[in-house]
């Protein structure tokens, strides 16, 4: 019995294209063979390298989740210090938690399954969230850098810093969302 399916394959120029996959269930029940340009190549499997990546991702996930949740708890419950830097730390921790709870599990699951099994809608939503998390981390880090530069160049402008930080954080999160939206609306030419 032959079963055909399509997967996404990177053609080394950043474009994913459909790859026809055929499985011969009678002779090799767990073996997928890729037929591409007349040649048969073995598709990726859950190899030792993939298992190692998943194990390392799980360890980093646990450490990151514990540490970022501890920072978030500490920054949000310590009301004695009402520093404008605390808002920056909370935003960076929130962005890091998005990476921890979206990007890391998504990559680990993808390494385990070797192919995308969740369908187009889930793909679009998760890719949106993945990009949102990565953009947010980068942009919030830029906001912190600009705040620190401002603190060095103008150390007495604390009231100004609070207003500027709120505005810059709003811009950072808005830009993160706007730059991630194309993942939801981008027309797909490949099948999962």
Whole-number Å distance between alpha carbons of 7 and 132:
25
Q: What is the pLDDT of residue 38?
A: 52
Chunked in runs of 10, what are the mean pLDDT values of the chain (192 residues)?
40 42 45 50 74 93 96 84 85 96 90 80 90 96 94 85 92 96 74 49
Domain 48-185 carries which CATH code?
Answer: 1.20.1070.10
Task: With CA atoms as reference, report the closest residue to 90 among 69, 75, 70.
Answer: 75
Coil, helix or strand at residue 79: coil
Q: What is the pLDDT of residue 44?
A: 67
Q: What is the pLDDT of residue 4?
A: 37
Q: What is the pLDDT of residue 172?
A: 97
Q: How many CA atoms lie within 13 A of 95 on its CB side?
A: 26
Domain boundaries, the chain: 2-42, 48-185
Whole-number Å distance between alpha carbons of 144 and 169:
9
Give ∠ CA 33-39-43 in degrees, rounded to 5.
30
Q: What is the pLDDT of residue 122?
A: 86
Q: What is the pLDDT of residue 45?
A: 75
Whole-number Å distance between alpha carbons of 62 and 70:
12
Query: Is residue 41 a contact partner of residue 66, using CB atoms and an 8 Å limit?
Result: no
């Amino acid at each position: 019995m032959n079963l055909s399916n399509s997967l996404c394959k990177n053609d080394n120029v950043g474009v994913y294209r459909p790859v026809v996959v055929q499985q011969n269930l009678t002779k090799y029940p767990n073996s997928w063979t890729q037929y591409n340009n007349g040649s048969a190549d073995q598709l990726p499997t859950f190899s030792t390298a993939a298992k190692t990546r998943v194990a390392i991702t799980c360890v980093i996930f646990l450490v990151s989740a514990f540490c970022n949740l501890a920072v978030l708890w500490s920054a949000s419950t310590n009301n004695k210090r009402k520093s404008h830097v605390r808002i920056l730390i909370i935003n960076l921790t929130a962005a890091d938690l998005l990476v921890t709870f979206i990007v890391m599990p998504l990559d680990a699951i993808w390494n385990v399954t070797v192919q995308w099994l969740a369908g187009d809608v889930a793909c679009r939503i998760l890719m949106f969230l993945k990009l949102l998390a990565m953009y947010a981390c980068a942009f919030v880090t830029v906001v912190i850098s600009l705040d620190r530069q401002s603190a060095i160049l103008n150390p007495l402008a604390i009231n100004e810093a609070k207003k500027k930080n709120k505005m810059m954080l709003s811009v950072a999160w808005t830009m993160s969302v706007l730059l991630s939206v194309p993942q939801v609306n981008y027309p797909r030419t490949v099948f999962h």
